[in-house]
Structure 1
Amino acid sequence: MTVYDELVARGLIAQVTDEEEIKELVNNGKAVFYIGFDPTADSLHVGHFMALCLMKRLQIAGNKPIALIGGGTAMIGDPTGRTDMRQMLTPETIQHNVECIKKQMSRFIDFSDDKALLVNNADWLMDLNYVEVLREVGPHFSVNRMLTHECYKQRMERGLTFLEFNYMIMQSYDFYELFQKYGCNMQFGGDDQWANMLGGTELIRRKLGKDAYAMTITLLLNSEGKKMGKTQSGAVWLDPNKTSPFDFYQYWRNVADSDVLKCIRMLTFLPLEEIDKMNDWEGAQLNTAKEILAFELTKLVHGEEEAKKAQEGARALFSSGNAANMPTATLAETDFKDGSIDILGLLVASGLAASRSEARRAVEQGGVSVDGEKITDTFASFTPDDFKEAKVVKKGKKNFRKVEM
């Protein structure tokens, strides 16, 4: 099976330009491709996970990835999939986020010996002269055609700012710049980015008379399933300080039955032959498949040791309530008011709820317990002495914390 055929078999390809040319490049290790990451936070999350796995997969096959950090485009914000304008970030915040993301990417991509590049589009976008851009790029974009793209159509009724309208041009210019500077001949992205990606390929062909290609991947965690990547307590981050390895494992351990094999195909590096044997699995076997998925992805992001800890902790938790290897929250003296902390404050302090109102709803709906005892009184409180021995606090069926002083 060729590299391209495997991408198709894993369900990764949504649409491509010039398929035969793309096959030739990818299968023979001649693709120099880029995927963009906007630094809107100081950590990547599971929405970026498939792109990182794809870059790793293609690099193993001899192709060269370029990880493009959108330090420049983040100053504008992508209107795709949004009903309102994205919050603007300060240059200082963007730079901080860029540095954090660089470190995370190194776990997936080998940047040694020029095997991959990591570049920031702020290096060229921030120095562009507006009039020069209008003259150099503007004639190659039809406003009428741009307005037919879904990324703009869905915003027309609510209002589309001229700032955001320029995002497609900026992303297209990125490909044009990468083509000239680094020989980048292919761009990858989610299928909701198709219009922006076509803009780049057309700009190169019209200005330079050369071929460049675009391929979109069916992003299970982005375009195809936007509900994924979220838990009851917020986004699922790749940074262990934001989402613990245990919570990361639990997120994948609890995917829907209908999604588990799809996730295994798209995200893990297990052989397809091994995955195909799971096609007829059902019932308890699907739980085994979920454990395989959770372990493989936690190992990829956090290392094998953390993956084993998370798996052992999850198994112990569900078999006997043992809190070993469960994520831990440590209460401080300041968490106690007048010598006690109520259940709502406990849920917030432990990270199981983002706010007291969210915590109140969880208690009122009967989804909270402490050491196996359901808590239904929103005024229930605890003293520091109650935490001389750690307590297991549970919210819903899948969210746990070992809470201690």
Structure 2
Amino acid sequence: MKALTWQAKRTVTVEEVDDPVIQDPGDAIIRVTSSAICGSDLHLYELLGPFLDRGDIPGREPMGEVVEVGSGVTRLAVGDRIVVPFTIACGECFMCTRGLQSQCETTQVREYGTGAALFGYTKLYGQVAGGQAEYLRIPRADYNHIAVGPDLPDERYLFLSDILPTAWQGVEYAHVPEGGTLVVMGLGPVGQLVTRVGRHRGYRVLAVDPVAERRAMAERHGIETIDLDDDVAARLVDLTDARGADSVVDAVGLEAHGNSGIELVQKSVGLLPDPLARQVFEKAGMDRLAALHASIDAVRRGGTVSLSGVYAGDADILPMKTMFDKQISLRMGQCNVKNWVDALLPLVEDPADPLGVMDLTTHHAPLEDAPELYRTFQRKEDGCIKVVLHPMSA
């Protein structure tokens, strides 16, 4: 089959690789009809190479048609159409039964002390082949799928794999009071959906992003937007009764604008030999925290900051005095996709499209175009907000 493969920092190529095969009776194989490029994939493209091997297949947002099932699979049949959550969980352990599928005790990657295995995401999370390929093997397939009907287009359902439940969880974790104000830092794909979830719930939503095309997309959905500058936190406080927002969702994460010194450190670590670079990342890694610091400054006293953006540094320095003095609550974590599906599925199937899932993708392309679109997405060029690849026709 054809698959996108990681080769080196900022280098991905489409190659012929072996087709996936059933390795366990609980496995299933799908023919991938759609697979998005996620902002988290850009972290692999730019920063996390020390945890990748040449030839690794990325992709954590796939869906498609079942073409083969293992002898132990009872809830899927050949021909079924499914979305694949990016977290690989068992559905039965202590964590899964408490709605914390991203912490699944059955698939935790204990070698690195991390949570549940993820599709297409480095040694840190199990090094499981991802879905930017023509076919994908799904472990524990009876649980790790979302069954969908045959009639609506892929685009209605695809974002259930990651970014839509990630946005929903971000708002849930933000604990916005009824009729309250929600600030969203960053208008990438997750940030766009966070704003729409917030507006759907009746909150006043303000969003910050330096890219005009991203602000314009949010404005189409009734969102108040603000360009990024050095005074953005003060401006947000001024817009919220000089008090600050009730809640802030940071949808940016570790590669935020405004930390040139840390950016240089991150790039320097990436040049080290992989074993040494892995040690530095694990023990002394640092993130660009501009978005998080702005979130802490923009939230009101007693408010909540919710992190949907990915952070990976273990040596980050937080403004603890400010956080303690302002009595800020902080929530975060990988998305527990299956925990939110029952709430989200009716919304994506609603003909009115209340969360605007049909107005998010800016670029559709065959798998062969993926390397160029990784570059375009990372550089925020050509109005690129969300890329959906189509490895195989539906």
- State if a TM-score over 0.5 links the two structures: no
Greater relative CO (CA pairs within 8 A, separation 6+)? 2
Give the structure with higher Rg (CA). Answer: 1
Calculate the TM-score normalised by the size of structure 1. 0.28
Calculate the TM-score normalised by the size of structure 2. 0.29
Indicate the structure with greater helix content: 1
Indicate the structure with greater strand content: 2
